[in-house]
Structure 1
């Protein structure tokens, strides 16, 4: 039996590998199929163009310099660590609601984020780490009044960060910021937010895509409208920061990390009841150690 790996044997192999990755991990990571679907549909829309003109794909919004992700260092246990700049973090959140996701003029009282999963795509170590976060985790977040006035940052639980906003971009950003702050001011590069009903739609879309991913670029040349229709399904059912000009670089990031292993992490801590509310307080020591392990490297 041959043990050769034709990693870059032909141009569609990236899709074959992503499909295999999803098949292996779909049951394990909430949102992995959703995220791959977003990237797949999008990358399909631009993939064949990049073969005709490689140069135009080199500058994407995803490559913008993020000074927050600059030269951050952290000291832990007497050693100095530097932020791993080759990491792409994608936050997937699932809401406890149904129907179309739309922003409203009145803030507050929106859906709560039941499931929070952070996909940590580490190009340097060629692996994906998956961190699941309890919605009841105590964290710092912005609160707004009903007109959208920012009332400043105060303590709350992660699942409420979305509900304090407009049910649109403000809610998504508030959730992202709360998770970034909780994890020691890391940078979350992208977010994907779905609800119960939309998750079913997107999973169906992901399954459909997986069936012909390998031929996606060829199909696109014959019928460019195909991906446009699928993109519309996603726009109606998802809230995401992943725009068209980021699809290509994200697909490449996935390809560079999906060959490796996938490890799962969860915060340790203690649950406390406060009236009817349940609150989860992370263990500070373990949290700090995890931040170092997942996002930093020894200098």
Structure 2
């Protein structure tokens, strides 16, 4: 799957929304934001000039890499209702855009919601109580359902990737899946496996035009009795978004776009501004997804994805570092 957006697109709201729509459909829906630029938060550490050694070679962090964390949240937007810590939904879908500003190419890293991390547990006053092992998807619940929740997951992903800084984040609530699918008149897919336990229509080989409700079932449904059901679901999400991007890019542009845009703003939390979107729209996303390497185990009745430390370290150096050239002393 390649995403291309013409530089000749008009700068109007509808066209800018289409850019965002294509980019952020990787969390199985789409994105619209308020149009107000926000300053990104930085750690204040300058590690670009540091030398790191790996397998006998010298590396330094690639200064041209920037990252965007995309979260699909399994709770409906309800900003008026206060929630206790642990009740703010979970990040069912976690994807990381790894973008190279020099080459204008991007890679997508999929992170299983079941990935085992040390969860930071907070009380109702926002004070940390303790840390416990758990699925990374649960970290979102201990924030505020908005910026703080995004920041908590962002920090966990950074830790998971050896301290790599996450520049931007965006979270999207589940009702946007239906809205975005309806906005393009449905998404046509061919069911690759037998998912009739989710819906009788999802029989292997069937062609199904997904409306809003069916799309939500297709990208979110899974058999929780199967240990690897989330891996299967991630594959369906990837299939859906490829069809979604292709079909959506052909259909978006009607006079109703602005209405849909306004409807979606309540579903999104992000620190991305229009200046970032205007820059990001020129990237070409590679056809193949990357997935965090590791294995699934069962513990206390729940699936846990345990990253493979050696393979993960290899991936980190491939994505975020560049090898220092050997100095010829002759």
**Structure 2 length normalisation: TM-score?**
0.64
User: Is structure 2 residue 211 aligned with structure 1 residue 181?
Assistant: no
Question: Does the Cα contact within 8 Å between 1:121 and 1:254 map onto a contact in 2?
Answer: no
Report the CA distance between 1:237 and its aligned residue. 1.1
User: Is structure 2 residue 114 aligned with structure 1 residue 114?
Assistant: no
The aligned length equals: 253
* Aligned equivalents of 2:29, 2:158: Cα separation in 1: 23
Question: Does the Cα contact within 8 Å between 2:65 and 2:98 map onto a contact in 1?
Answer: yes
Question: Does the Cα contact within 8 Å between 1:81 and 1:298 map onto a contact in 2?
Answer: yes
Match of 2:44 among 62, 67, 75: 67
Match of 1:249 among 273, 276, 280: 276
* Aligned equivalents of 1:253, 1:239: Cα separation in 2: 18
Q: Paired residue for 2:253?
A: 212
* Aligned equivalents of 2:46, 2:98: Cα separation in 1: 14
Moved more, 116-125 or 138-147: 138-147
Question: Does the Cα contact within 8 Å between 2:69 and 2:166 map onto a contact in 1?
Answer: yes
Instruction: Give the alignment of 1:58-97 within 5 angstroms.
Output: 61-62=39-40, 67-68=44-45, 70-71=47-48, 72-97=50-75
- SS of the aligned residue for 1:155 comes to strand
Report the CA distance between 1:209 and its aligned residue. 10
Q: Paired residue for 2:27?
A: 31
* Aligned equivalents of 2:164, 2:65: Cα separation in 1: 10
Which residues of structure 1 form unaligned runs of 5+? 1-6, 47-59, 214-218, 220-225
The structure-2 alpha-carbon separation of the partners of 1:297 and 1:171, relative to structure 1 and needing over 3 Å to count, comes to same
Question: Does the Cα contact within 8 Å between 1:192 and 1:240 map onto a contact in 2?
Answer: yes
The structure-2 alpha-carbon separation of the partners of 1:77 and 1:126, relative to structure 1 and needing over 3 Å to count, comes to same
Deviations, residues 242-282 of structure 1 (Å, cap 9, x unaligned) = 2xxx3123321331x22x63431012211111111211101
User: Is structure 2 residue 147 aligned with structure 1 residue 169?
Assistant: yes
The structure-2 alpha-carbon separation of the partners of 1:241 and 1:152, relative to structure 1 and needing over 3 Å to count, comes to farther
Report the CA distance between 1:16 and its aligned residue. 8.4
Report the CA distance between 1:73 and its aligned residue. 4.2
- SS of the aligned residue for 2:97 comes to strand
Q: Paired residue for 1:4?
A: none
Report the CA distance between 1:66 and its aligned residue. 5.3
Question: Does the Cα contact within 8 Å between 1:101 and 1:238 map onto a contact in 2?
Answer: no
Question: Does the Cα contact within 8 Å between 1:79 and 1:298 map onto a contact in 2?
Answer: yes
* Aligned equivalents of 2:148, 2:27: Cα separation in 1: 21
Question: Does the Cα contact within 8 Å between 1:88 and 1:122 map onto a contact in 2?
Answer: yes
* Aligned equivalents of 1:18, 1:231: Cα separation in 2: 7
The structure-2 alpha-carbon separation of the partners of 1:181 and 1:278, relative to structure 1 and needing over 3 Å to count, comes to same
- SS of the aligned residue for 2:289 comes to strand
The structure-2 alpha-carbon separation of the partners of 1:17 and 1:113, relative to structure 1 and needing over 3 Å to count, comes to closer
Q: Paired residue for 1:239?
A: 269
The structure-2 alpha-carbon separation of the partners of 1:74 and 1:293, relative to structure 1 and needing over 3 Å to count, comes to same
Report the CA distance between 1:61 and its aligned residue. 3.0
Report the CA distance between 1:287 and its aligned residue. 0.4
Moved more, 151-160 or 90-99: 151-160
Which residues of structure 2 form unaligned runs of 5+? 1-5, 185-244, 325-330
* Aligned equivalents of 2:277, 2:147: Cα separation in 1: 21
The structure-2 alpha-carbon separation of the partners of 1:21 and 1:113, relative to structure 1 and needing over 3 Å to count, comes to closer
The structure-2 alpha-carbon separation of the partners of 1:17 and 1:104, relative to structure 1 and needing over 3 Å to count, comes to closer
* Aligned equivalents of 2:17, 2:262: Cα separation in 1: 22
Moved more, 129-138 or 186-195: 186-195
